[in-house]
Amino acid sequence: MSYKKLEIWQLAKELTIEIHKISLTLPKFEQFEETQQIRKFLTYSLSSNDETIDHLETLFETQSLKDELLYNCLHQKLTELGKKLNNFLQAVERSHNEFQP
């Protein structure tokens, strides 16, 4: 079963979109505060991704995870996610720096 079929995921996604739309209508100073929070959570996400890669590598190196094809597939996806998170974080920071008073 895909997590996207879960009612709680669907509700969370719906709320995320609604809150994002509302955030675009906030005064500039509030948008800066929200940007700070977004950058903070993006940093946590990037760190968590790196930590997950480390755990995956350890599982493979200790042979707890023996399926090399699965290992390589997961490692590749995590690496790609890390790049995308990093790029997004940099874009948010550039955007924030452009709008600073």
Q: Where are the domains of the chain?
A: 28-98
- What are the pLDDT tens digits along the chain (101 aa)? 676 787 876 777 787 777 777 777 777 766 667 667 777 777 888 888 899 999 999 999 999 999 999 999 999 999 998 888 888 888 877 876 766 55
Predicted TM-score (pTM) of the model is 0.62
What pLDDT score does 99 carry?
A: 60
For 71, 77, 78, the CA distances from 68, given in Å and listed in that order, are 5, 14, 15
Closest CA to 76 of 87, 88, 68: 68
pLDDT value for 32: 67
Instruction: Give residue 57's pLDDT.
Output: 95
